[in-house]
Amino acid sequence: MYDIRKKIDFLRKELHNHNHRYYVEDSPVLTDLEFDKMLKELEKLEAENPQFFDPNSPTQRVGGSITKSFKSSSHRYPMYSLSNTYTKDELIKWEERIIKILGEDTPLSYSCELKFDGASINLLYQEGELVKALTRGDGLQGDEITNNIKTINTIPLKLKGEYPNFFEVRGEIILTTEDFNKMNLRRVERGEPIYSNPRNTASGSLKLQDSSQVARRPLKCFIYAVAGDELNLYDQFEVLKKAREWGFKVPNSARLVDSIEKVFEFIKYWDSERNKLDYDIDGVVIKVNSLSQQEKLGYTAKAPRWAIAYKYKAEQATTKLEGVHYQVGRTGAITPVARLKPILISGTLVKRASLHNSDQIEKLDLRLGDKVYVEKGGEIIPKITGVKEVQRGDLSNKIIFINKCPECNFPLKREKGEAQHYCKNETACPPQQIGKIQHFISRKALDIDGLGSETVSLFYNAGLISNIADLYRLDKEKIMPLEGMAEKSANNIINGIKKSLEKPFSKVLFGLGIRFVGETVAKKLAQVYKSIDKLVLATKEDLINTEEIGEKIAQSVIDYFSNKDNLDLIISLKSFGFKMESSTSQNSNHPAFYEKKFVVSGVFDAFSREEIIIEIERLGGISVTSISKKTDFLLAGRGIGPKKEIKAKSLKIPILSENDFNKLRKS
Ligand code: AMP
Ligand code: ZN
């Protein structure tokens, strides 16, 4: 007989292996298409057989869980800092202290490693399964971010080979320079302020509330240590080798050496080679190799005595600050950018440096003409790290952050708790207007055939459009006279615009570009509120009580609809023929279903899972994914997980069978 359980196990194992081949070994054997096909098959089987749920299945890597606040949890073994040094002398002294404790004749060898510059992570494995992931926090306790960590493909959810029963694996979560730069390019395109460096972006990513957002970030994990009571391991170099065998990513840069001179060679080698790495390091770490020697050496209050970090000075140069200009993004965020006297830093000509925000300018107390220190890490845009005091610019030339928008003169505003200033003239500030229209037509929003960002700028600059609604007032005669516009493309554009009127409500809602309303939130709002009219009327409390919507999003939606220009835009869009409601036209708003929240779980006879959800929504109900006090019914199919049932019972939520459901809808 065809055994579903076996098939599921087989697919999971295969997918874990292929994931490892792809992300850890960089030598995939399947094409992306083949991999996706296999994953889809597993997803389907798991959905149909919820009794075989596995929190570490490869399907769990896409994320989806929302954590509003992360639980803190103690480390079984503290996560120490490392003592730092910048000189060889100090390294020699460090070795002398070690010899003093261990004795003159003890043979010493060192594991020389790169010091990856990211966010540290502590991974707990039980019987080879990832059970918990903690941030370093204060070293004694960290935040539990397990669901977010599971989305990182270089972290095995199940270990290979032989491993200790219960132990911890420690590593660094990083973003490669290339991935980081790509993320920033996308932010520039969307008019959002850019991230300042890979390290902060990596550590910020780990604390996102929505794990599916984390899944979209190209985070990687490099392993450098383990901790546990029964490791059966004898030296650090063996630890690195074992970690590789268990399926972790451990860069091959580590070297085992037997003298401090060879440690110096390692340091020297990476001082020049580190620029060629695809990720940031902030130095190297030297560790006494033998674990029993490590134990004898022990720890100070803050750091192990058996390890030390040698830090490189960042590549720096000084040049003159010639000016500051301000960029305005689609959302109105203002980014100050320094104009520098061009200078060569590690092979690139640097003319601009990011100043991030007004606090940064204040902190540096910048003045025009200052000689400034410029540092270039892996980022595209270098940063100013300080002012050369002896060569200050003119004291009268203090840089005062602008208080009006450079593009539209509107007074700038900075909200409490935000670092960025904003131009709130959302509907009439040119870069914001262009950006909003560009967002509206973009692929994930209305995806208008034939129309691209450049054409939008062209139309805007020719005075043909100044907001989203104007797109629908265009006709062929208006755009034909524009330079380079052929009849065929003009036809395409006008047709594409006309066709976009049929796009679903959730896409239009996303296209409006309300701050914090991304694709997923737009879908949720469209699903719950059904029409723009209801959404406009929703109060802040209503919004906050909506699943997955927090205070920040709720406020932003309220702000958006309090602006008369935005309401006018919506009225116009409707008048052009946009329906602005979820397609539940045959919606019959059954009294037993209307606005009731259903959790659907298990397998049904007459419906697929999707079909039953569509039916609930058609009758006016709302489908939600997890059980809470606000749930009205648990619709339980065959093979529903016992946890869901227990939870529903404890909250006294009625449980409906497929039969009950059918009776209810016919009542
Ligand atoms: P620090 O934060 O400067 O005290 O340095 C300690 C941190 O360096 C650890 O928490 C790790 O996250 C990080 N680190 C990066 N690479 C290594 C490595 N090869 N060995 C040990 N720690 C490392
Ligand atoms: Zn403006």
- Pocket flag, ligand 1, residue 306 (CB < 6 Å): no
Ligand 2 centroid distance, CA of 404 (Å): 8
The answer to whether 348 and 381 have CB atoms below 8 angstroms apart is no
User: Which of 83, 135, 172 for mutating ligand 1's site (highest number of atoms within 8 Å of CB)?
Assistant: 172
The structure's pTM equals 0.58
pLDDT at 585: 47
Q: In the annotation, is 115 catalytic?
A: yes
CA angle 200, 285, 169 (to 5 degrees): 70
Ligand nearest to the CA of 334: 2
Does residue 173's CB lie within 6 angstroms of at least one atom of ligand 1? Answer: no
Distance 453 CA to ligand 2 centre (A): 20
For residue 170 and ligand 1, the question of a CB distance below 6 A is answered with no
Q: Whose CA is nearest to atom 11 of ligand 1?
A: 120
* DSSP 8-class letter at 227: E
Cβ count within 10 A of residue 306: 24
Half-sphere exposure of 599 (CA within 13 A, CB side): 21
Q: Looking at the CA of 135, which ligand is closest? A: 1
Question: Which atom of ligand 1 is nearest the CA belonging to 82?
Answer: 4
Ligand 1 centroid, distance to 116 Cα (angstroms): 7
Ligand 1 within 6 A of CB of 136:
yes
Please give the Cα distance from 335 to 358 (Å, whole number): 9
Cβ of residue 12 lying under 6 Å from some atom of ligand 1: no
Q: How many A from CA of 121 to the centre of ligand 1? A: 10
Whether residue 285 has its Cβ less than 6 Å from ligand 1: yes
Ligand 1 atom closest to 119 (CA): 12
Between β-strands 110-116 and 622-624, what pairing exists: parallel, antiparallel or unpaired? Answer: unpaired
Contact residues for 49 (Cβ-Cβ < 8 A; gap 6+): 4, 5, 8, 603, 639
139 Cβ contact partners less than 8 Å away, ≥ 6 residues apart? 75, 78, 79, 80, 81
Site to probe by mutation for ligand 1, drawn from 224, 263, 288, 308 as the one with most ligand atoms within 8 Å of Cβ, is 224
58 in Cβ contact with 39 (< 8 Å): yes
Residue 318 in contact with ligand 1 by CB distance below 6 A: no
Of 44, 115, 207, 644, the catalytic one is 115
- Return the SS3 of 656: strand
Q: Pull the structure tokens for residue 66.
A: 């929302």
**DSSP alpha helices (H): ranges in 65-142?**
88-102
Are the C-beta atoms of residues 319 and 388 closer than 8 Å to each other?
Answer: no
Give the Å distance between the CA of 312 and the centre of ligand 1. 14
- Give the Å distances, CA to CA, from 313 to 197, 268, 271, 284, 337: 17, 13, 9, 12, 24
- Atom 14 in ligand 1: which residue has the minimum CA distance? 115
Question: What is the 3 state secondary structure string of 337-368?
Answer: EEEEEEEEECCEEEEEEECCCHHHHHHHCCEC
Q: What is the mean pLDDT of each run of 10 residues along the chain (667 residues)?
A: 86 95 90 91 94 93 86 93 92 96 94 96 96 94 95 96 96 95 83 80 93 94 95 96 97 96 96 88 95 95 94 84 92 93 79 90 92 76 85 84 96 90 91 94 89 92 94 94 89 94 92 89 89 94 88 93 93 92 68 88 80 82 86 90 86 92 86
How far does residue 405's CA lie from ligand 2's centre (Å)?
4
Q: In this structure, which ligand is nearest to the CA of 332?
A: 2
Give, rounded to a whole angstrom, the gap between the first and last alpha carbons of the chain.
41
| Residue that is written with structure tokens 């070795």 in the block | 95
State the residue for tokens 């301000």: 326
Q: Which strand (E) or helix (H) includes residue 633?
A: strand 633-636
Number of other CB atoms surrounding residue 654 within 10 Å: 12
Rounded-to-integer distance, Cα 463 and Cα 430, Å:
11
Structure token pair of residue 666: 């016919």
Q: Which of 450, 474, 452, 451 is nearest to 462 (CA)?
A: 474
Question: CB atoms < 10 A from the CB of 74, how many?
Answer: 10
The bound ligand whose nearest atom lies closest to the alpha carbon of 435 is 2
